[in-house]
C-alpha cells in the first residue's frame, strides 16, 4: 500500500496564502470590546483604538509550502508568528510559556472585520518559543467542521496579552478534492544535540520517493547544530528546531505488539511511553500536541510502535556519528469499540535510554485506516 511520510501539520485542506507568497500580516488599529478570554468571547464588534504596538512581524504556516500552497491533512495545523524584540522585552516570556502570552482566533473573511461568538471558528492560546534567531509564538489550531467541509477565505486574528488586537492575516483553503492527497500519513521530525557546536551532515536512505523536505533536502542536509538543539543552515540563512521530510513508500501496518487505549487516557499513555523511550519534555510536547487532537476524541485507539519496520525503509545516516540515537515511530487505528489484545501481543513499555554524548532523536507516526 502506498503511504506518505509528512511532517508537522496535517489537514484535509490545502492552505493557500492570499498574500501571494508574502507573509507579513496587515496591521489594524482595532480592539475587541468584550471579554478577551478566548474561552468566553462576548458578542460584539471591533472598535478603532490608538495602538502603536504591533508585536507580530511575520506569519508562517508550519508545513510544506510550495508555490504559496501549504499542504496539510487531518484537521489540525500549526501557525508560527515571528514576535518583535519589544514584545519579549515588555512581557519577559519564558520558553514554553502559555499563560499570559498571545491569543488567536479564526473567522471567515469579511470587509468590516466584524463578528460575534458564533463566527469564531477556531481559538487557541500561543506558546512562546525562544531561539537565537528570533522570538516566536506558536499556535496549534484544530479545524472547525465548516472549514473541513468546504474551501473558503479566512482571517487569523492575533491578540496581545492585554486583549487588544495586534494584527490580522488572511489565508485561503482548498477542499481535499482540489488537491491529490495520500491515503495515509507519517510524520518524521529529527532533532540533533551535539556536545558542542558541530557541522553535521544528515542523509536518509529512503525506500520510496520524497515529495517535500524542509529545509530543502539536496542529497542531504548540511547544518550547524548547537547543544540546545538549534540548527542553522547557511544556504537559507535560517535557524530551525528540527528537520522534516515527506515521501511515499510501501510499508505494511504492524500491530504485532499493540495496546488499546481509550481516547481520554491517550495523553497519559503517550506521556509514559515517550518518557520511557527517552524523549525529553520538549520533544514529548511536540509529539503529543500534534497527535492528541486526532486521538483523544476517539472512543478507543489501537496503538503500536513498529520502529524496526520503519527503520528498514528509512535508514538515518548522521555524520559525525552520534553516540545516542532514539527513533520513535507510532501507528494507530481509531476504534469504535474496545478489543481484547492477547497477552503475548500486548505492547510493552520500552527500556530506558540514557542520552550520552551527541544525541539524535526522531519521532513520527501514521494513521491506519
Q: How confident is the model at residue 186 (pLDDT cuts 50, 70, 90)?
A: low
pTM: 0.53
Q: pLDDT at position 252, please? A: 55
The radius of gyration of the chain from alpha carbons, rounded to an integer in Å, stands at 21
Q: Kindly report the number of other CB atoms within 10 A of residue 158's CB atom.
A: 25
Sort 4 into a burial class: Cβ within 10 Å, 0-12 / 13-18 / 19+. buried
Instruction: Taking residues 177-190, report their average pLDDT.
Output: 54
Give the ranges where 85-196 is alpha helix by DSSP (H).
Answer: 85-91, 145-149
Q: Which parts of 207-276 are beta strand (E)?
A: 208-214, 221-225, 231-233, 238-240, 243-250, 258-262
Find the range with the poorest average confidence among 113-122, 246-255, 288-297: 246-255
Q: Number of helices (H) and strands (E) in the chain: give both, helices first.
A: 5, 28
Q: What is the dihedral of CA 83, 84, 89, 95, to 10 degrees?
A: 20
Phi, psi of 178 (to 5 degrees): -80, -15
What the block records as the C-alpha cell of 320 is 559525525
Phi-psi region of 90 (alpha: psi -120 to 50; beta: other; left: phi over 0): alpha
Q: How far apart are CA 160 and CA 55, in angstroms?
A: 8
Beta-bridge partner residues of 209: 248
Whole-number percent of the chain with pLDDT over 70: 72
Residue 369 neighbours by CB under 8 Å, 6+ apart = 183, 184, 333
Q: pLDDT at position 267, please? A: 96
What strands lie across the sheet with 152-159, from one edge to the other? 64-66, 69-71, 14-17, 165-174, 152-159, 103-108, 122-125
Q: How far apart are CA 363 and CA 369, in angstroms?
A: 20
For 284, what's the count of Cα atoms within 13 Å in the CB-facing half-sphere? 15
Cell 523511550 sits at which residue? 277
Domains detected in the chain: 8-178 (2.60.40.10), 185-367 (no CATH)
Q: What is the pLDDT of residues 21-72, one digit of tens each?
A: 334 554 444 444 333 333 333 333 444 444 556 788 777 665 433 233 333 4
Instruction: Taking residues 105-112, report their average pLDDT.
Output: 80
Amino acid at each position: 500500500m502506498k503511504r506518505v511520510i509528512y511532517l508537522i501539520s496535517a489537514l484535509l485542506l490545502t492552505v493557500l496564502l492570499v498574500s501571494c507568497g508574502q507573509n507579513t500580516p496587515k496591521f489594524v488599529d482595532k480592539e475587541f470590546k468584550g471579554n478577551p478570554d478566548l474561552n468566553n468571547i462576548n458578542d460584539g464588534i471591533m472598535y478603532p483604538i490608538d495602538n502603536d504596538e504591533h508585536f507580530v512581524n511575520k506569519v508562517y504556516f508550519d508545513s510544506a509550502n510550495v508555490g504559496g500552497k501549504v499542504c496539510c491533512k487531518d484537521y489540525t495545523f500549526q501557525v508560527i508568528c515571528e514576535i518583535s524584540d519589544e514584545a519579549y522585552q515588555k512581557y519577559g516570556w519564558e520558553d514554553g510559556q502559555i499563560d499570559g502570552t498571545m491569543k488567536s482566533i479564526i473567522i471567515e473573511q469579511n470587509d468590516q472585520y466584524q463578528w460575534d461568538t458564533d463566527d469564531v471558528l477556531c481559538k487557541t492560546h500561543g506558546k512562546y518559543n525562544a531561539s537565537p534567531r528570533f522570538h516566536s509564538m506558536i499556535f496549534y489550531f484544530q479545524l472547525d467542521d465548516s472549514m473541513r467541509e468546504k474551501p473558503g477565505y479566512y482571517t487569523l486574528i492575533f491578540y496581545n496579552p492585554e486583549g487588544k488586537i495586534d494584527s490580522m492575516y488572511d489565508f485561503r483553503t482548498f477542499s481535499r478534492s482540489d488537491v491529490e492527497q495520500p491515503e495515509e500519513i507519517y510524520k518524521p521530525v529529527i532533532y540533533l544535540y551535539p556536545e558542542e557546536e558541530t557541522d553535521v551532515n544528515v542523509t536518509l536512505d529512503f525506500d520510496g520517493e520524497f515529495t517535500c523536505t524542509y529545509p530543502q533536502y539536496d542529497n542531504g542536509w548540511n547544518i550547524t547544530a548547537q547543544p540546545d538543539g538549534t540548527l542553522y543552515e547557511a544556504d537559507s540563512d535560517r535557524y530551525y528546531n528540527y528537520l522534516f521530510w515527506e515521501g511515499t513508500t510501501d510499508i505494511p501496518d504492524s500491530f504485532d505488539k499493540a495496546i488499546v487505549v481509550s481516547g481520554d487516557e491517550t495523553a497519559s499513555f503517550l506521556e509514559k511511553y515517550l518518557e520511557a523511550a527517552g524523549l525529553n519534555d520538549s520533544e514529548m510536547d511536540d509529539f503529543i500536541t500534534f497527535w492528541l487532537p486526532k486521538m483523544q476524541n476517539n472512543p478507543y485507539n489501537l496503538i503500536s510502535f513498529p520502529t524496526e519496520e520503519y527503520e528498514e525503509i528509512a535508514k538515518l545516516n548522521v555524520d559525525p556519528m552520534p553516540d545516542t540515537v532514539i527513533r520513535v515511530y507510532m501507528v494507530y487505528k481509531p476504534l469504535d469499540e474496545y478489543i481484547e489484545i492477547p497477552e503475548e501481543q500486548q505492547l510493552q513499555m520500552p527500556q530506558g535510554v540514557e542520552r550520552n554524548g551527541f544525541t539524535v532523536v526522531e519521532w513520527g507516526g501514521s494513521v491506519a485506516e
